[in-house]
Amino acid sequence: MIIKSRTHIPYLASDGESIMPIIPAKTVIFFPGETISLQVGRPGNLSLVNENVGKDMLVGVCFSPSGDPGSDDFDLCQVGTAAKIISAKDGPSDSKIISIEGIRRIAIRSIKGKNPYLSARVGFPDEKTGMQNEINRLSNAIVGIIEQITHVDPTYSDELAYVMKFNLGSPGQFADKIAAAFHLPLDSKQEILETMQIDARLARLLEFLKIEQERVAISYEIRKSVEENSAEEQRKLYLRQQLYEIRRQLGEELIEDKIAQQLRNEIKKNKLLPADVRDRALIEVDRLGHLSTASAEYGATKVYLDWLLNIPWNIHTKEDLNIDQIEEDIACEYYGSPQIKKQMLERIAVRQLSGGISEGPVLCLAGVPGTGKASLARAIAKAMHKKFFRISVGGMTDIADIKGSARNFPGATPGIIIRSLRDAGTCDPVIFIEDLEYFAEDATTALPMSLLEAIDPRLNSHFLDNYIGLSIDLSRAMFICAVKSVDGIPEMMTHRFEVIELSGYIEKEKIHIARKHIIPNVLKKHGLRRKDIIFSDKGLRRIIRSYTLEAGLLNFRRQIERICRHVAKEKASHVSKIWMVNEKTVEGFLGTLQYIPEKPDTAPEIGVAIGLAWTGLGGDLMIIEGLKMKGNGEVITTGSLGEVMKESIQAAHSYVRAKADVLGIDHNDFDNFDIHIHFPQGAIPKDGPSAGVTVSLVIASVMAERPIRHDVAMTGEVTLRGKVLPVGGIKEKISAAYRAGIPKIFVPKENKKDLKDLPADIIKKTKFIFIDTVDEVFARGLLDFSPSSYTLEKIFAQEIEKARNKKSASPAKKMPQVK
The pLDDT assigned to 630 comes to 92
- Give the active site residue among 571, 628, 733, 735: 733
Residue 817 has what pLDDT? 38
CA distance 143 to 150: 11
Spatial separation of the C-alpha atoms in residues 640 and 646, rounded to whole Å:
10
State pTM to two decimals: 0.60
Gap between the Cα atoms of 59 and 101, Å rounded: 10
**What is the rounded distance in angstroms from the CA atom of residue 479 to the CA atom of residue 295?**
40
Is residue 690 flagged as an active site residue?
yes
Closest CA to 627 of 645, 639, 612, 616: 639
In this predicted structure, the answer to whether residue 786 has a pLDDT above a threshold of 90 is no
pLDDT exceeds cutoff 80 at 164: yes
Q: Are 31 and 201 in contact (CB under 8 A)?
A: no
Q: What percent of the chain has pLDDT over 70?
A: 93
| DSSP H helix total and E strand total for the chain | 29, 26
Q: State yes or no: pLDDT of 795 exceeds 60.
A: no
Taking the CB of residue 15, how many other CB atoms lie within 10 A of it?
14
pLDDT score recorded for residue 108: 92
Quick one: residue 361, left, alpha or beta (phi over 0 = left, psi -120 to 50 = alpha)?
beta
What is the C-alpha to C-alpha distance for residues 68 and 55, in angstroms, rounded to an integer? Answer: 28
Amino acid at 297: E
What Rg, from alpha-carbon coordinates, does the chain have?
44
Return d(Cα 401, Cα 413) in angstroms, integer: 9
How far apart are alpha carbons 27 and 524 in whole angstroms? 77
Q: Could you report the per-residue pLDDT of 293-332, keeping only the tens digit for each?
A: 777 888 888 899 999 999 999 888 887 778 888 888 888 8
- Alpha helical stretches, state H, 251-372: 255-269, 275-289, 296-310, 323-333, 338-353
pLDDT of 152: 86
Long-range contacts of 292-299 (CB under 8 A, 24+ apart): 292/237, 292/240, 292/241, 292/244, 292/256, 293/255, 293/256, 294/236, 294/240, 298/256
Q: What is the pLDDT of residue 259?
A: 79
CB atoms < 10 A from the CB of 593, how many? 13
Most confident region among 205-209, 262-266, 434-438 by mean pLDDT: 205-209
Instruction: Please state, in angstroms and rounded to a whole number, the distance separating the CA atoms of residues 77 and 64.
Output: 6
DSSP 782: B
- Going by DSSP bridges, is the β-strand pair 744-748/767-771 parallel, antiparallel, or unpaired? parallel
Averaged pLDDT score across all residues of the chain: 85
Instruction: Reduce the secondary structure of 636-703 to three states and give it as a string.
Output: EEECCECHHHHHHHHHHHHHHHHCHHHHCCCCCHHHHEEEEEECCCCCCCECCCCCHHHHHHHHHHHH
Measured CA to CA, the distance from residue 32 to residue 192 in angstroms comes to 12
pLDDT of residue 814: 41
- Rounded CA separation 194/354 (Å): 87
The string of DSSP letters for 601-649 reads: -SS-BTTEEEEEEEETTEEEEEEEEEEEEESSS-EEEESSB-HHHHHHH
Question: Is pLDDT above 80 for 812?
Answer: no
580 band by pLDDT with thresholds 50, 70 and 90: very high
Catalytic site residue from 139, 405, 690, 696 = 690
- Cross-strand partners of 619: 614
Distance CA 84, CA 377 (A): 85
How many Å apart are CA 294 and CA 315, to the nearest integer? Answer: 35
Please state which of the ranges 18-32, 710-724, 783-797 shows the lowest mean pLDDT.
Answer: 783-797
Distance CA 686, CA 694 (A): 14
CB 429 within 8 A of CB 387: yes
Structural contact between residues 361 and 411, judged by C-beta atoms closer than 8 angstroms: no
Strands 712-714 and 744-748: parallel
Is 471 annotated in the active site? no
Is the pLDDT reported for residue 267 higher than 50? Answer: yes
Q: What is the pLDDT of residues 594-604, one digit of tens each?
A: 877 667 777 88
Q: Does residue 808 have a pLDDT over 60?
A: no
